[in-house]
């Protein structure tokens, strides 16, 4: 039987048109974790799909302490009252958060804002009674709090770890495919994930030939100056078009699949590769930085085309791994150790999935869903 989400909670804001949901896919050891997203297009269905992905993601992250959940708010994350809406959403969901649903940041929601609101409400970092009585976890929570202000390569660690993990997944898969050196990469999205991933890939010697954000697509076959684009980046992950070089081409962000590339990285929204545009995919490898960026219909077409996929929950789990590793005492708060812990786990899992897929004649997604099938839910901590 297909596993169903354990609980779905709906909320209507009394002071704006915002609507929101919390889906707890599963509790493991009475605990569940996942980000909170804010975007006008968020739906109940999307939050359930994202929470389900989180259930798989915690398994891929080798967690024995946490299941998957997701928060979603249908509202414009750029609206002046976006943070007030977030606060009211968190107040509404506080009973579930206090009972072990640990929410973080996601598209349109900054993790720092979530933690600030938790602190204001006296929640602190959400935890179960067992966690409160465990000295290792209490030390881990202190380490986590300290790690929130740690930086690595000029990024806050919580902002870079997912992107760096993804860059390592990409590199492991590309090596498995015997791909050429200096392969061309197009990235959709230049927020926490897209920008840090671009930085890591640039350092590894990949050529970033196209980047899109909410406003435009910028491309250059010779490669974009990633460092400059990061240094000039505006809030909310927006490119500064004034910083573009003369040989860059600027076009509509919807034309991101037109750019010739070896590897494609959707790092913004869900369902962006779908039946309407899947035949425009030129790359031989897709790395799912965003959650659920490829629809089921597009997946079938990509399988027929022989396009390989680094599956979202295997590759983009850096953000939850760092939380798990710190809070549950798997690593100390040393930036090098944290990055090595996450990137080496993601490399191991990526290789395992690619090898098994080849051996069994299945897609990477089929194999990953078998290897990392989530546990049946237990209960909240009451």
Ligand X SMILES: NC(=O)c1ccc[n+]([C@@H]2O[C@H](COP(=O)([O-])OP(=O)(O)OC[C@H]3O[C@@H](n4cnc5c(N)ncnc54)[C@H](O)[C@@H]3O)[C@@H](O)[C@H]2O)c1
**Does the footprint of ligand X cover residue 7 (CB under 6 A)?**
no
Which has the closest alpha carbon to 256: 290, 215, 207, 227? 215
Q: Determine the interface stretch with ligand X among 10-18, 133-141, 285-293, 342-350 (rule: CB under 6 A).
A: 285-293
Q: How far apart are CA 232 and CA 299, in angstroms?
A: 35
Output the CA–CA distances (angstroms, integers) from residue 64 to 32, 57, 58, 82, 97, in the order listed. 11, 12, 8, 34, 19
Q: How far apart are CA 293 and CA 278, in angstroms?
A: 12
Encoded one letter per residue, x for contact with ligand X by CB under 6 A and - for no contact, window 229-248 reads --------xx----------
- Using CB under 6 A, which of 32, 128, 291, 343 touches ligand X? 291
Q: From its phi and psi, is residue 329 left (phi > 0), alpha (psi between -120 and 50) or beta?
A: left
Q: Is 330 helix (H, G, I), strand (E, B) or coil?
A: coil
**Does the footprint of ligand X cover residue 287 (CB under 6 A)?**
no
Q: Which is nearer to ligand X, 259 or 267 (CB)?
A: 267
Q: Which is nearer to ligand X, 130 or 214 (CB)?
A: 214
DSSP letter for 234, please: B
**Does the footprint of ligand X cover residue 193 (CB under 6 A)?**
yes
- Using CB under 6 A, which of 191, 210, 374, 380 touches ligand X? 191
Q: Which is nearer to ligand X, 179 or 323 (CB)?
A: 323
Is residue 228 part of an annotated ligand binding site? no
**Does the footprint of ligand X cover residue 204 (CB under 6 A)?**
no
CB contact at 8 A, 185 and 223: no
Q: Determine the interface stretch with ligand X among 171-179, 187-195, 299-307, 369-377 (rule: CB under 6 A).
A: 187-195
Is residue 303 part of an annotated ligand binding site? no
Q: Determine the interface stretch with ligand X among 122-130, 167-175, 210-218, 240-248 (rule: CB under 6 A).
A: 210-218
Note if 70 is an active site residue.
yes
- Write down the least CB distance from residue 293 to ligand X, Å: 7
CB contact at 8 A, 98 and 127: no
Q: Which is nearer to ligand X, 97 or 193 (CB)?
A: 193
Q: Determine the interface stretch with ligand X among 4-12, 84-92, 207-215, 368-376 (rule: CB under 6 A).
A: 207-215
**Does the footprint of ligand X cover residue 273 (CB under 6 A)?**
no
Is residue 162 part of an annotated ligand binding site? yes
Beta strand pairing call for 19-24 and 285-287: unpaired
Q: Which of 59, 70, 98, 333 is catalytic?
A: 70
**Does the footprint of ligand X cover residue 268 (CB under 6 A)?**
yes
Which has the closest alpha carbon to 28: 378, 317, 381? 378
Q: How far apart are CA 289 and CA 190, in angstroms?
A: 11
- Using CB under 6 A, which of 25, 190, 206, 372 touches ligand X? 190
| Sign, CA torsion 82/55/61/371 | negative
CA 189 and chain centroid, separation: 12
In the complex, which residue's CB is closest to ligand X? 191
- Within 8 A by CB and 6+ apart from 266, the residues are 188, 189, 272, 273, 286, 288, 289, 290, 293, 294
Task: Output the known binding site for substrate.
Answer: 57, 105
| Binding footprint of ligand X on the chain (CB under 6 A) | 106-108, 162, 188-194, 212-214, 237-238, 253, 267-269, 289-291, 316, 319
Which positions are catalytic? Answer: 70
């Amino acid at each position: 039987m297909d596993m169903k989400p354990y609980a779905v909670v709906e909320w209507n804001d009394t002071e704006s048109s915002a609507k929101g949901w919390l889906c707890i896919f599963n509790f493991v050891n009475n605990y569940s974790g996942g980000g909170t997203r804010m975007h006008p297009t968020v739906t109940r269905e999307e939050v359930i799909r994202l929470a389900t992905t989180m259930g798989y993601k915690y398994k891929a992250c080798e967690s024995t302490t946490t299941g998957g959940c997701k928060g979603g708010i249908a509202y414009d994350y750029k609206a002046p009252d976006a943070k007030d809406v977030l606060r009211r959403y968190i107040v509404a969901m506080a009973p579930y958060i206090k009972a072990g649903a640990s929410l973080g940041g996601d598209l349109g929601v900054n993790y720092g804002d979530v933690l600030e609101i938790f602190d204001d409400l006296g929640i602190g970092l959400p935890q179960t009674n067992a966690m409160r009585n465990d000295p290792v976890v209490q030390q881990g929570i202190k380490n986590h709090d300290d790690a929130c202000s740690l930086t690595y390569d000029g990024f806050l660690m919580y902002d870079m770890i997912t992107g760096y993990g993804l860059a390592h997944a990409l590199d492991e898969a590309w090596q498995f495919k015997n791909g050429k050196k200096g392969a061309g990469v197009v990235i959709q999205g230049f927020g926490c994930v897209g920008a840090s991933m671009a930085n890591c890939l640039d350092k590894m010697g990949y050529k970033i030939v196209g980047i899109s954000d909410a406003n435009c697509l910028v491309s250059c076959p010779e490669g974009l100056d990633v460092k400059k684009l990061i240094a000039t980046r505006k809030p909310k992950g927006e490119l500064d078009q004034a910083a573009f070089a003369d040989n860059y081409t600027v076009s509509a962000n919807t034309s991101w699949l037109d750019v010739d590339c070896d590897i494609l990285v959707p790092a913004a929204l869900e369902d962006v590769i779908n039946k309407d545009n899947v035949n425009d995919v030129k790359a031989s490898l897709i790395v799912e930085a965003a959650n659920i960026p490829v629809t089921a219909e597009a997946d079938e077409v990509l399988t027929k085309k022989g396009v390989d996929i680094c599956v979202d929950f295997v590759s983009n789990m850096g953000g939850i791994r760092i939380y798990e590793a710190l809070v549950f005492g798997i690593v100390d708060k040393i930036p090098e150790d944290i990055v090595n812990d996450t990137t080496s786990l993601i490399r191991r899992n990526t290789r395992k999935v690619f090898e098994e897929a080849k051996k069994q004649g299945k897609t990477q997604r089929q194999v990953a869903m078998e290897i990392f099938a989530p546990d049946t839910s237990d209960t909240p901590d009451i």
